[in-house]
Amino acid sequence: MDLNLKDSVVVITGGASGIGRATADQFHAEGARVSVWDLQSPEEESFDFQQVDITSADDVARATEITLSRFGRIDHLVHAAAIGSGKFGFPFDNLSPDDWPRVLEVNIMGMTRVAHAVGPVLRTQQAGTMVFISSVAGQIGSQTDPPYSAAKAANINFAQCLAKDLAPHGVRVNTVCPGMIQTPLNKSVWQAWNDRQSDDRKRSYEDWAGEKIRTVIPLGRWQTPEDIAHTILFLSSDKAAQITGQTINVDGGFVMHW
């Protein structure tokens, strides 16, 4: 399927690893020109790279200006940068209120800063797409990490606000929610849980995660970063010209809506 993405300019936050990196690779394979914004550089120098802290308005503004100077435009934004609390949040008071601000600053305000920088560019061009990576945790109130879940719910809501604002200007905005993916973030949830267990209750990551896959994912298998990237590319393409303001779950059936 020709997605007509050749020579388009794509900004991917958090594009050095995980879902962001898989998405960068697939856009690159389609012939797009990719600018990765991340704190760390990609292992391979396949992309334009800018070191960006999304909690810094100055960093985000500078990266936007440099991208425009290098490429002349921005056609697509994929916002994948995010963090978890690094702790196991069940029950919720395993965490303290002090565990929340950093997660909210990166996951909510980081998204906000990126949207405020790139959104006006797309509006001026009267064309473009924005895809924000949320999580099924933002829909079900996942108890493993309440700050992360709350922030991901906010991502979905703000993306809908953006979709309504920008639709008259030819800009589409959608959210993709991964389910169970073997990423460092997912493994950190297990580690935080395992660290709290007595020796006789400790489990390997493979055993712990495998049970979750069998019990909560109807398709019974992990999702991969590439699975998420396929959906992101579709939503960024002309094939999705009538899709905006939507929350698309790529989760093996974990969360179902009608």
Delineate the domains of the chain, giving CATH numbers in brackets: 9-181+224-250 (3.40.50.720)
What's the CA dihedral at 6, 11, 16, 21 to 10 degrees? -40
| Residue 207: pLDDT band with limits 50, 70, 90 | confident
Query: E strands of 19-93, at which residues?
Result: 33-38, 48-51, 76-79
Q: Mark whether 148 is an active-site residue.
A: yes
The more confidently predicted of residues 135 and 210 is 135
Please return the burial class of 12, using the count of CB atoms within 10 Å of its CB with bins 0-12, 13-18 and 19+: buried
Q: How far apart are CA 7 and CA 196, in angstroms?
A: 49
Which pairing describes strands 247-250 and 76-79: parallel, antiparallel, or unpaired?
Answer: unpaired
Residue 123: per-residue pLDDT = 98
- Asked whether 146 and 202 are in contact (CB, 8 A), the reply is no
Which amino acid, one-letter code, is at 186? N
Q: pLDDT tens, 163-193? A: 999 999 999 999 999 998 887 777 777 787 7
Residue 222: per-residue pLDDT = 92
Q: What is the mean pLDDT of residues 199-216?
A: 87
Residue 93: per-residue pLDDT = 84
The one catalytic residue among 27, 71, 132, 148: 148
Task: For CA atoms 23, 28, 29, 31, give the dihedral sign.
Answer: positive
Q: Is 1 a residue whose pLDDT tops 90?
A: no
